[in-house]
Structure 1
Amino acid sequence: YRLEFGGRKELLEDWLDEKIGGDIARRFGKAMTLPEQTSTLAYSLDKIARIQADQKHVIYVNKPPINLYNAENVILDSNGEAELASGATEGSFEAQVLPPSELFMNFVKAEWIAEKNNGEISAEFLNSDGESLGQIYDAYDTQFYRFRKWPQGYGSFTYRNASSFGMNGASVSDKRMGILHGYCLKLTPSTLGSDGEIYYPSTQDLNLDLSWAKWLRLYLYADHENDVTIKIRLHQDASNYFEGSLVVKSKGWRKYEISMDSLSQVGSPNPSQINWISIISPYPILIDSDHVFLPAVRELMRVKFTLKRDSPDDPSPRIKFVKIIWREGA
């Protein structure tokens, strides 16, 4: 039996050699090179990381007894709710939170429960520098606030969106190599070493108001042996635009957050009239995104409530409950 089995094995090998030759690659596919193995391993690890960091909403709750920050003429009543101090007709306090996790993505909204009592209540949203991000003047009728972002659709700027971009000395394509999504954009200059530009939208008629935005965020990968310096421009028109430059690390995905205040100006652009967004690079880069423009990144969020009443003898308006919601994971 051993001789018969061996004979059959030899005949099978002879038949394979005769039909397809002795090249193992022809039987099982081309062997992976070390760079391909490394790239595949890195991409697999990235996918594992994405699975492990599934998106979730995190809620900070400030309930009675309410924590009062920077309180002026505001105290806690017997139920632990915020009200005006005796004799005061106006006062304020803040609810504050700094998201603890570095997986923070964006603030989603704030909600609260307010009791008017014939007085007035307003809410203002401030960043760590005290800059106003938004305001609700009738915070007793409208008891929530959604933080702005663009685009509204998560990742829609770059996910299978190459057909919406125009090109100048470059090509743009959808690639299945994203860090946040299955697809990202790839910018490839027509001549390596010379600036190639892609811009959104191709019609250059975005008409986007970015006067509220404090941050620009993209995820970038330089598909080159060395780091690559790129430019990002926010155009009102060809002669008036904001511009920022940054160095994109070679062979690795990174998150890049740029303060809008750090952008230089060419001409006299109006941030409330942005008509197209340009990305310029002398070498190939990959571009992924979640929300490109944001009012705040991972920083201290402050919700300032102002309470008013006509007379010290009137009942005080009250804040009974506050929560701030943000998104984590990517």
Structure 2
Amino acid sequence: MTVRIGVIGTGMIGRDHTRRINQVLSGAEVVALSDYSPDAARAVQADLAPGAKLHDRGEDLIASADVDAVLVCSTGATHEAYVLAAIAAGKPVFCEKPLATTAEAALRIVEAEAAHGRRLVQVGFMRRYDAGYRMLKQVVDRQIGTPLMVHAAHRNQSVPESYLTPMAIHDTLIHEIDVLRWLLDDDYVSAQVVFPRKSRHAHARLADPQIVLLETKKGVRIDVEVFVNCQYGYDIQCQVVGEEGLANLPEPMTIAMRREARLQSDILVDWKQRFIDSYDVELADFIQAAARGTAAGPTAWDGYVAAITSDACVEAQESGRIVPISLPARPAHYD
């Protein structure tokens, strides 16, 4: 069976996913496109999906009898409406992060999916599919004893002036929020944010770097450095300290060179290149599940928990306090 996919949002990530589905992966085909900019949709149609039908509205694409499953790659504010429409239509839906822009909106999606009676939503937390993180999880689960601490860093070479302090949480830390929950099989109970000396490369409306301190239900203490103007490249670090050893996230594969009296290797500057393989694997997982009429991978509940945690971290940024994080009982639907 070839899964017929409709893509809503044909910007950078939507265009890349369309290429991935039609040119890299098997078992699916992009048959429909929609974007608030008709020109953007037509450009993707011409270059990557010549047989796809264009829809003026995402709701029309979802309702089409020619579409079996949906990718939501539009702006975050539109995600709730499109995901809810896909659930109502009984169609598997892959939603890029965030699942919704508020925790309340994410909860409405959780409740709609539970009422429908089966999983239909996969959230685009691609780090769970990264080979390095999967290797790290195997070691954390089996070889270093009970985890005690996690030291992590998320560094970008630079960001534009439109990037503001709260975006360090909602756009950057959001990936650590999800992947560390998964890595530790644990939930968060508190968040605090502290600000070291500000980098001269950070513009006036951005506090950079930041250190986010999280505590989990099992007592694990986590510190994550978010430094989005580090200048030297795109750098993701994670070290888990256990009772019997420690484990580090592997560095991306690179060639070590001896050149001009120096030992050196390249550092990536583009996040898309750092996680390019994980995007392939996560969409392959979605396609396989969609062929069965369901979803796989990170759930709507995961998206909801990430939204609650993000809101707590932003409150901690603004207040300087340790902010408690509380979750309702997880629906049995997600067990």
TM-score bin, normalised by smaller chain: under 0.3
TM-score, with length taken from structure 2: 0.21
Q: Which has the larger radius of gyration?
A: 1
Question: In proportion to residue count, which structure has more helix?
Answer: 2
Bigger relative contact order (CA 8 A; separation at least 6): 1
